[in-house]
């Protein structure tokens, strides 16, 4: 007859399960991220985060788009280390307070809620960086976009880089297809009037200092935005990045650009600028014609 396991042997077995799970993520002598990093230590992690996000979206229809943007802004500074989640403390100014994020990036409280739920289920196991990555994938999938196996095993960053640049595609080995695919995250979410009707971003009234609108913008779309964003009006008024399906993750971002209905100049330039011809413009055409191609590249 088998004997009952002692507390010491039970603890040893649990520790061995953690070691085995971590070993599965090793490749040669270098630790690698893997999809089942928490399979033994927190097997319900994905479902826990998903439930938190579903509840958050019931009161905030923008939250899925906000979370994917939050993850993007985190990753392009010091890597996907969750450093964007850190608060400013003496001697370290947070990335939260940098110009691209201050008053604009949102969704921090949902990441906090997911962390709290996971701490209840499996204390001290998941890093905030991994929670952020999981939340981003779930946000896209729940909005109708592609799913992908999230590679897990990130460590949380302990420092924040206030001056980190987001213009790092080439620095991290990303190419034109990556640029156009990741820009497709603008297929959902909202943006303020000041990003199309004020200062250097003005496409409605003083494009490039000409005191004229951007000639590349569709005239009907420009008239619509002019009503939403009158000259010298409230710059914080929100507008749909995708006026056709604003809360669905699909390829309408690209079909809008094809019709000269890109809200941000950085979006429209992927198709319309002289430099885009022969580089990013054909990729926009391909994604506009095939949602599957876009989803595959984005994932």
pLDDT tens for each residue of 198-213 = 888 899 999 999 999 9
pLDDT at 254 over 60: yes
Mean pLDDT across the stretch 229-247?
A: 93
pLDDT of residue 49: 98
* 273 belongs to an annotated ligand binding site: no
* 245 belongs to an annotated ligand binding site: yes
Structure tokens at 242: 């995708």
Q: What is the pTM of this model?
A: 0.81
Strands (E), the chain: 26-27, 30-31, 190-192, 238-240
pLDDT of residue 76: 80
* 41 belongs to an annotated ligand binding site: no
* 124 belongs to an annotated ligand binding site: no
The torsion angle over the Cα atoms of residues 185, 190, 194 and 199, rounded to 10 degrees, is 10
Active site residues: 73
pLDDT at 63 over 80: yes
pLDDT at 171 over 90: no
Of 205, 185, 210, residue with least CA distance to 193: 205
Cβ neighbours, 10 Å, residue 155: 11
Query: In Å, how far from its chain's centre is CA 282?
Result: 24
* 44 belongs to an annotated ligand binding site: no
Query: What is the overall mean pLDDT for the chain?
Result: 86
Of 66, 212, 92, residue with least CA distance to 158: 92
Q: Which residues have C-beta within 8 Å of that of residue 178, sequence separation ≥ 6? A: 169, 297
């Amino acid at each position: 007859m088998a004997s009952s396991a002692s507390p010491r042997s039970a603890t040893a077995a649990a520790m061995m399960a953690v070691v085995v799970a971590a070993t599965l993520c090793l490749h040669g002598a270098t630790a690698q991220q893997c999809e089942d990093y928490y399979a033994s230590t927190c097997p319900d992690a994905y479902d826990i985060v998903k439930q938190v996000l579903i509840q958050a979206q019931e009161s905030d229809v923008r939250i899925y788009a906000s979370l994917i943007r939050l993850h993007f802004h985190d990753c392009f500074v010091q890597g996907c280390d969750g450093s964007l989640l850190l608060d400013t403390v003496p001697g370290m100014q947070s990335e939260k307070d940098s110009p691209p994020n201050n008053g604009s990036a949102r969704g921090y409280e949902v990441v906090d809620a997911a962390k709290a739920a996971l701490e209840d289920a499996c204390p001290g196991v998941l890093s905030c960086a991994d929670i952020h990555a999981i939340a981003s994938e779930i946000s896209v999938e729940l909005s109708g976009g592609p799913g992908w196996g999230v590679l897990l095993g990130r460590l949380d960053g302990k420092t924040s880089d206030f001056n980190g640049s987001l213009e790092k595609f080439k620095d991290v080995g990303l190419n034109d297809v990556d640029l156009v695919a990741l820009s497709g995250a603008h297929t959902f979410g909202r943006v303020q009037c000041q990003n199309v009707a004020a200062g250097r971003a003005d496409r409605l009234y003083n494009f490039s200092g000409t005191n004229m609108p951007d000639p590349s913008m569709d005239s009907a779309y420009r008239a619509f935005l002019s009503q939403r964003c009158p000259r010298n009006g409230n710059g914080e008024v929100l507008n749909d990045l995708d006026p056709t399906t604003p809360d669905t993750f699909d390829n309408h971002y690209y079909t809008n650009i094809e019709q000269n209905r890109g809200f941000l100049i950085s979006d429209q330039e992927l198709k319309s600028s002289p430099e885009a011809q022969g580089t990013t413009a054909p990729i926009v055409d391909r994604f506009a014609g095939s949602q599957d191609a876009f989803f595959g590249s984005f994932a």
